[in-house]
Amino acid sequence: MTPNPILLGKLSRSKILTRWQAASVGSGERRSRAKGAGMEFADHKDYQPGDDFRYLDPHVYARTGKNYIRQYDVYRQLPITILIDSSRSMAFGDPTKFAFCQGLASSLAFIGLAGGDQVQVGVGTGDKVHWSPRFHGVMRASHLFDWIGEQEPARSGSFGGALRLAMRHIKDRGLLIVLSDLWATELEADLGLLYASGQEVWGMHILTPHEIDPAKFGDGEVRMVDAEDGQEVEITLDSGTVGRYRKSFESWREQTSAYFNKIRGRYLMVSTDQAVDRLLTTEWRALGLLS
C-alpha cells in the first residue's frame, strides 16, 4: 500500500502536530518536556546534592554567589500509534472503507517516520488486534507500507473493545490515531481510559458518501443489511426517511465529536470519496493537524 511518490515528496516536509502530548521516548527531533544534557540552553535550576557539577554555571555563581545548574532541552521521539478498524462494516463501499484507511494510514505513517518519530500500526476488531513492528526512520517506510498492504478486513466481529486492546498494548504516552467508521463501539468510556493512560487520541471517522447521505441511493425500496450482525430491514427511501436519517446522523456525529473534545483530542469526519493528497497537503494543514 505505497502512496504516490509525488505525494510522499510533499509529505516528507510535514510533521504531525499534537495538541498537548509531547515526545517521550528515545532520541529524536521533537522538544520534550524533559530537561538535561543537550545543545540548546533552556533554564537554570537550583543545585541539589547529586546533580552533575559539570553543568554548574560559573557566570551565575560569580554574580550571585549561588550554585545553579544549566539545563538544556532534550529532543525525543513521539510514539505514534495508528489503529485501523477491520470489522466487517469496513468492507463496504467503493473503494471500501478499509482500503481507504490503508492508504491514509500509509501516508500518516510516512509523515511520522519522516519527522523522526516512532510509528506502529494496529489492524483489528474488539476480538483481536494485529500489530506491526515499531518502526523508526524513513528508510523503513517501505516495510511498513508492505505490512499495511497485507492486512485484510475481518470476516466477523465489531470494533467495540478494540480501543481497550490498544490501551493494554501501548506502553508509552503518545498519539493514537483511530481510523474507523465508529459503528457499535463503547466510545465515550474507552476514550476516557485512553486519555487517563496518557494518550492524545485523534478520531478519523471514515464513512462512505452513501452513509453520510443515503439520498445517493435514490428513491424506492431498499434492503439494508447490518454488516456486523447480519440483521436486515427493508425501508422506503423518500424525502421523509432521508430527512430523519440526516437528523439522526448529525446528532450522532456531534455526540461523537463531543467525546473526542472532552478528552482534548481531535475528531474529523472523512468521506471515502475525498482525495487523500488534498486532505494531507491542504485541508489538514489548514486545521493545524500537520505542518
What are the tens digits of pLDDT across the range 108-118?
Answer: 999 999 999 99
As for how many domains the chain has, the answer is 2
Same domain membership, residue 271 and residue 140: yes
Same domain membership, residue 268 and residue 143: yes
Confidence of residue 43 (pLDDT cuts 50, 70, 90): low
Same domain membership, residue 161 and residue 56: no
Q: Is residue 18 part of a domain?
A: no
Same domain membership, residue 259 and residue 120: yes
Same domain membership, residue 143 and residue 64: no
Same domain membership, residue 90 and residue 63: no
Q: Is residue 197 part of a domain?
A: yes
pTM reported for the whole predicted model: 0.84
pLDDT score, position 237: 79
Range of the domain at 247: 5-10+78-286
Same domain membership, residue 113 and residue 45: no
Q: Is residue 16 part of a domain?
A: no
Predicted confidence (pLDDT) per residue in 153-193, tens digit: 987 778 889 999 999 999 999 999 999 999 867 899 999 99
Same domain membership, residue 58 and residue 149: no
DSSP structure string for the chain: -PPPHHHHHHHTT--B--SS--B-EEEEEEEEEEEEEEEEEEEEEE--TTS-GGGB-HHHHHHHS--EEEEEEEEEEPEEEEEEE-SGGGG-TTTTHHHHHHHHHHHHHHHHHHTT-EEEEEEE-SS-EEEPPPEESGGGHHHHHHHHHH----SS--STTHHHHHHHH--SSEEEEEEE---S--HHHHHHHHHHTTEEEEEEEEE-HHHH-GGGG-SEEEEEE-TTT--EEEEEESHHHHHHHHHHHHHHHHHHHHHHHHTT-EEEEEETTS-HHHIIIIIHHHTTSB-
Q: Is residue 22 part of a domain?
A: no
